[in-house]
Structures are given as C-alpha cells and as structure tokens.
Amino acid sequence: MKIPPVKGTRDFYPPDMARRNWIIDGWKKVSVRNGFEEYDGPIFEYLKMFQIKSGDEIVEQLFSLKDRGGRELAIRPEITPTLARMVNQQINSLARPIKWFSVPRLCRAERPQKGRLREFFQWNIDIIGVDDVLADAEVIFTACDYLQEVGLTPDDVMVKISSREMLAALLQTAGIAKSELEPLYTVLDKRSKVAAEAFEEMLAEQVGDKDKRDKIIDLMAVESLEQIGDCLQLSEKAEESVDELKRLFELVEIMGIADFCVFDIGIVRGLAYYTGIVYEIYDRESGLRAIGGGGRYDDLLKQFGGPAIPATGFGIGDCVLAILLEEKGLLDKQLSSPQPDYFVAFTDKQFFQKAIELTAKLRTKGFAANFDYKSANLSKQLKQASAQNVKKCVIIGSEFENNELVIKDMTTGKQELVDYDEFLAQCIELK
Ligand code: HAM
C-alpha cells in the first residue's frame, strides 16, 4: 500500500532541502546583523492561547488535538502568541528593548493553493518595549535588508504600509462604533483578495447603513496620506496617526529603503491583535499572495496577563518567497552544491579496508570524505569523485607497501606521492 504525503505538506528531497536551508540561513544572517537574537517555543500550545487574540480566521484554521489527560492543544499556526507568553514569563529579567527572531515551522488548515500550504516556515522579527515608530521602521528595514540580500529590488517587491489606529479613528468619524471595528477589519482585509461585488456584499452584511458604507468605500479608495483629509474630517487621533505614518516614511527614506515602501490604506491585516502601523509585502508583477506581513501589537502582552508593553514585528513565509525567487531566477543560481574535501579511492580490493579506515580518520579530523561502496575499478571511482565535485582524491595502491599514498588535486589534475603518516599529520595541522 502506497501512502501519499498529507495534503498541503511538502517532502524536502536534498535539492529542496538545500533551497530551504539557503532561504532560512539568509533569514538568520540578516536577523543577526540587524541585532536580533534567536528564540523558539514548542510546536504545540494550549488551544486557548490562539483563541485569545489571533482572530476567528486563524482559529478556524487550527490543527487541534487532545492529549491523554483530555487537555485541548493546538499545533502553532503562528509564533506571536508564544512570544507574548514567553516574554511575559520572564518580563522582569529581560533587558529591553527585546529584539528577537525565530524561524518556526507552522501549520494552518488552509485550503492549499499557490503560496499557501498547511505546513510552512515563517521568519519572525519582533521588537518589544519600544513605543516609537522607529522600531516599526527598523523591522521594515530588516525585511528589506533580506529582500535585497537575495537580489530582490524595489522593481520586484513593495511594502504596503498603513495604520490601524488611523483607520479606527477615520471609521469612527464615519459613524462606525468602536465595538464594530474588529469584525469590520476582517471584511476590509478581504477587499483586495475577493471580487468587488463579493466585497460589497460582505460590507453590506457588516454595515447596514448605506451612507456609512459609501463613506467607507470612498475612504478605501484614497491613494495618498494627503488625500485623507479631503475624504473625511480628521479627528485629533486620526491626525496623530497620519503624522506617525509621515514620520515612518521619513525614517525609511533615511534608511535608504523608501523605494520599497508605499502607503496603502487597504492594508488592515487579518489577525486581530494589531493596534497601530501595519504593513504587508507584495511582489509588484506576479499578483502572488502576500510574501509577509506585520505591524504593531501594543496590547497583546497585556491580554496574555502581562504588563502593557508595546511591541511590533513581522512574519515572512517561505512559500510565496520561494515562488518569487524562482520566477526571478534568484533561487537556483545562488545554490552551490557541497564540495567534499576528499574521496578515498583504491587500486585493488586488498586496500578496501584501508580506504574505509582512512576515510573514517579524515572524517574524525573534521574533513568531509567519501569512499566507494562497491570496490569498483579505479577509473570508475575517479569518475564518482568528479561527479561528487570533491577537492582531492587520495589513492591507495601498491605504493602503500612503502606507507605512501597518491594525492590527486581534482581541479588541477596534479598528482603527488606523500607519506601516509605525514599526510595525516598535515591534515591535523590544516584543520
Ligand atoms: P500572517 O500575515 O498570518 O502574520 O503571516 C505572515 C506570512 O506568513 C504571510 O504573509 C505568508 O507569507 C506566510 N503564511 C501565512 N499563512 C501561510 C500558509 N498557510 N502557507 C504558507 N505561508 C503562509 C503572522 O503570522 C503574524 N504572527 C506575523 C507577526 C509577527 N506579526 C507580528 N510579529
């Protein structure tokens, strides 16, 4: 009986694994140079943790289970609640600002489609303890730093930025009650993801009054920060949020990433815990789903039983990113295949055991070394060595009677006769 892989999951054969590692190594490298430290948590948590503030959509997508004691658990669909829990747990001993990153494996029971699977990896960057838009600019910079690191330019990708705080103030001016905001965000988040009629239907379900609906539709058509005042009277709160956004755009200019950044009032975010600046990263041409997204979530730690500490961060998944990199020819080009240091070959079966012994010795000295399992003839072994792209071949043959080996440099083809013990001693020195 053949058992297929579970829908929405991936098998990582070695070439796929090399790609995955290349993406993740880049995430880690960029995190570290931007001053972030790595953390991780368990892959499952209590179910209720994701029900507190992540929002209905993610709760519907949970893979949940009961442990033997009947406790309700869920596989993590995101790591932000875990981060909030972990930070709260040690809040008094952690030096602030907390700048942490993580690369969790996550599961969401989504309908699998291009760029969306049921299991994926997600790069998370978060700054906790900074109540300044500079922290938002820094996380956006870190995302752009990675995008540039892998060869993507402002012609390929853009960071669409807005503010939930601003939107809340504007919607309240348009007559929406505070208590109606959260379900409305879910509808507004769908605006660019569904057809116009479907969006209007969803909006009508949420907002009965046509006058209010028209105001919302006009507001969502605004294309620049300057235009907002023409559409609705700005309350003090709305003005403060507009000023904060303007400062963010100044900061990204100073940081040299302004070409990546655009204002887009339609960015609302699907998750419920965002409170201020929000943004999503998209490709400019292919119309793929979001590459990543994030924003400020100043209330989440408090909602998880801790003190009120401001926080901001983002998540970038590996799926859409890999599709885009592949489309742009930026993925395979950068992957170099591993190059073993040695291939230990032998001219005759009588030296087979010696070859195994020497390979083992080289490996324990820290070299990547291989040998042939089949005791094939020398030319076949050398072919294998070339196919494996090894740097040098060690050949054990009749010279071994005098405790000598032939070393062949596979790049230059040059061969030299060396003493076995001296060769090993030299290897130790080299490492
Ligand atoms: P999110 O928008 O739910 O945010 O996910 C961020 C990114 O993760 C998405 O833009 C996408 O690249 C990737 N992603 C999400 N779901 C899937 C899926 N089913 N398959 C493949 N990729 C997926 C969050 O998760 C927030 N916790 C991010 C954050 C961190 N906010 C603050 N700090």
Q: Specify the residue with its C-alpha closest to ligand 1, atom 29.
A: 314
Q: Are 219 and 203 in contact (CB under 8 A)?
A: no
Alpha carbon of 318 to ligand 1 centroid (Å): 10
Q: How far apart are the first and last CA of the chain?
A: 49
The pLDDT tens digits for 159-202 are 999 999 999 999 999 999 999 999 999 999 989 888 989 999 99
Distance CA 62, CA 51 (A): 10
Q: 292: Cβ below 6 Å to ligand 1?
A: yes
Query: H or E element: which one contains 21?
Result: helix 14-33
Which of 39, 103, 122 is the pocket-test mutation for ligand 1 (most atoms within 8 Å of CB)?
Answer: 122
Closest CA to 160 of 295, 282, 246, 250: 282
Q: 77: Cβ below 6 Å to ligand 1?
A: no
Alpha carbon of 108 to ligand 1 centroid (Å): 10
3-class DSSP state for residue 60? Answer: helix
Closest CA to 120 of 139, 99, 103: 103
**Helix ranges, 115-180 (H):** 133-149, 164-173
Q: Say how many residues make up the chain.
A: 431
Q: Are 266 and 282 in contact (CB under 8 A)?
A: no
At 333 the pLDDT is: 66
At 61 the pLDDT is: 94
Q: Specify the residue with its C-alpha closest to ligand 1, atom 2.
A: 293
Token look-up 């003005």 returns 239
Residue 146, burial from CB neighbour count under 10 angstroms (0-12, 13-18, 19+): buried
DSSP state for residue 5 in the 8-state scheme: P
State the CB neighbour count (10 A cutoff) for residue 391. Answer: 15
At 431 the pLDDT is: 66
Distance CA 100, CA 98 (A): 6
3-class DSSP state for residue 236? Answer: helix
At 54 the pLDDT is: 73
5: left (phi over 0), alpha (psi -120 to 50) or beta: beta
Distance CA 162, CA 220 (A): 11
Q: 104: Cβ below 6 Å to ligand 1?
A: no
At 58 the pLDDT is: 83
Which of 36, 85, 120 is the pocket-test mutation for ligand 1 (most atoms within 8 Å of CB)?
Answer: 120
15: left (phi over 0), alpha (psi -120 to 50) or beta: alpha
Token look-up 């699998």 returns 112
- Token digits for 425? 């001693």
At 427 the pLDDT is: 82
Q: Are 80 and 272 in contact (CB under 8 A)?
A: no
Which of 54, 56, 78 is the pocket-test mutation for ligand 1 (most atoms within 8 Å of CB)?
Answer: 78
Distance CA 320, CA 73 (A): 28
The pLDDT tens digits for 257-291 are 999 999 999 999 988 899 999 999 999 997 899 99
DSSP state for residue 30 in the 8-state scheme: H
Tens of pLDDT along the chain (431 residues) come to 999 999 999 999 999 999 999 999 999 999 999 999 999 999 999 999 998 877 778 889 999 999 999 999 999 999 999 999 999 999 999 999 999 999 999 999 999 999 999 999 999 999 999 999 999 999 999 999 999 999 999 999 999 999 999 999 999 999 999 999 999 999 999 898 889 899 999 999 999 999 999 999 999 999 999 998 887 788 999 999 999 999 999 999 999 999 999 999 999 998 889 999 999 999 999 789 999 999 999 999 999 999 999 999 999 999 999 999 999 999 876 677 778 999 999 999 999 999 999 999 999 999 999 999 987 899 999 999 999 999 999 999 998 889 999 999 999 999 999 999 999 998 877 66
